[in-house]
Amino acid sequence: MRRMEEKILKEGQVLPGGILKVGSFLNQQIDTEFLMEMAEEINWLFGDGGVSKILTIESSGIPLAVAAGIIMKVPVVFAKKHKTSNVDGETYKSKVHSFTHNEDYEIIVARDYIREDDRILLIDDFLANGNALRGLIELIEQARATLVGCAVAIEKCFQDGGDRLRAQGVRIEALAAIESMTDTEIVFR
Amino acid sequence: MRRMEEKILKEGQVLPGGILKVGSFLNQQIDTEFLMEMAEEINWLFGDGGVSKILTIESSGIPLAVAAGIIMKVPVVFAKKHKTSNVDGETYKSKVHSFTHNEDYEIIVARDYIREDDRILLIDDFLANGNALRGLIELIEQARATLVGCAVAIEKCFQDGGDRLRAQGVRIEALAAIESMTDTEIVFR
């Protein structure tokens, strides 16, 4: 998606540790007009897949998942990172290692919200090591639902998460795929 | 908003400790069609207020804030609950006590995302003690921006957060206002 690449080149900042900061439009401040363009692209990619539900993970995946849910007219579910008193009863859960924060956490979704007959599209802002997506895929497997595919705003191709998931037969679509990045240059695949 | 009250009566569950669970449509699974109806209502209430930006807090405020941002054609900013490596540089911060989790946490937003000339609409899913909104208002005051008002999906009027904020001159609009609730009955104001 050319507009996504332009936006990253214009507003993105590469921080130490291989972190791409896109807080100005994607994951702290959200450019809602551009968000809808991203959602339209996801609908173009997955709109014919019979998606019944979108699953994401709090917090930074939520805006894009909600926008795509609005366009695709399906509900959105977000997995929570900690068990809270608002999620009672039975849950699906899996463990995720965060690259950004260098820590493990548990992700949880109430069983009521993923059903066996659901066809799930996963959405997240970033795909790097693929840990968050793998955790979400585990939740889908626990529910015996069907995974249609994964849409991410930005894939860091220099980390192997995307390629490992594709090797397992998972359909992954990135709106922008970064081949390499340094302080001074971002190269797209 | 009558549809909101109907939805709460049909799908809401009252849990011990005065917690209303609306995870089936508002804050874990999101009914995107209904979300847009809520956002239209917020636009009807605040659309003539010259709002330049919507501010919310992760995670459960994000869906409604994003939907309202799409309808009102303004950016959405969400305050984060912990300092992460993606928020560098200068930040505004304040402390919030969580009623649901019974703990204090810090909320943070990068200075770049709230400017002195911004006219801010606050959005959250619940208003109970008002702690989250007061924390967000502090961030707006630190930035010397203008608070237009606060829109919340559900106000628990039997807690005093809303009334205390109104007494300070803050405009608060709730899409549903709950006067009292028990295991068997929910009464709207």
Quote the minimal CA–CA distance from B28 to chain A in Å.
Answer: 6
| Beta bridge mates, A177 | A155
CA distance B103 to A153: 33
> What's the confidence (pLDDT) of residue A89?
60
Under DSSP, the state recorded for A165 is H
Q: What is the mean pLDDT of residues B129-145?
A: 96
The model's pTM: 0.94
pLDDT digits (tens, 9 = 90+) for B56-114: 999 999 999 999 999 999 999 999 987 554 555 689 999 998 766 788 889 999 999 99
pLDDT digits (tens, 9 = 90+) for B145-187: 999 999 999 999 999 999 999 999 999 999 999 999 998 899 9
B74 contacts in chain A (CB < 8 Å): 32
The strand ranges marked E within A34-145 are 53-57, 76-79, 91-98, 103-110, 119-127
CB A44 within 8 A of CB A71: no
pLDDT digits (tens, 9 = 90+) for A66-82: 999 999 999 999 999 87
Question: Taking the alpha carbons of B133, B135, B138, B140 in that order, is the dihedral positive or negative?
Answer: negative
- Angle, alpha carbons A53-A6-B73 (nearest 5°): 55
Q: What is the mean pLDDT of residues A26-48?
A: 96
> What's the confidence (pLDDT) of residue B183?
85
pLDDT band of residue A97 (cuts 50, 70, 90) is confident
CA distance A139 to A125: 18
Closest CA to A82 of B139, B162, B19, B59: B59
In single-letter form, the type of residue at position A47 comes to G
In single-letter form, the type of residue at position B15 comes to L
Q: Are B59 and A80 in contact (CB < 8 Å)?
A: yes
Q: What is the mean pLDDT of residues A152-158?
A: 96
| Beta bridge mates, B30 | A76
pLDDT band of residue A60 (cuts 50, 70, 90) is very high
Cβ–Cβ contact A112 with B under 8 A: yes
B27 contacts in chain A (CB < 8 Å): 86
Under DSSP, the state recorded for B112 is G
Task: Pick from A29, A34, A55, A102 the residue to mutate for testing the B interface (most B CBs within 10 Å).
Answer: A29
Burial of residue A70 (CB within 10 Å: 0-12, 13-18, 19+) is buried
CA distance A150 to A136: 10
> What's the confidence (pLDDT) of residue B103?
83
ipTM of the complex: 0.93
CA distance A50 to A119: 7
> What's the confidence (pLDDT) of residue B164?
97
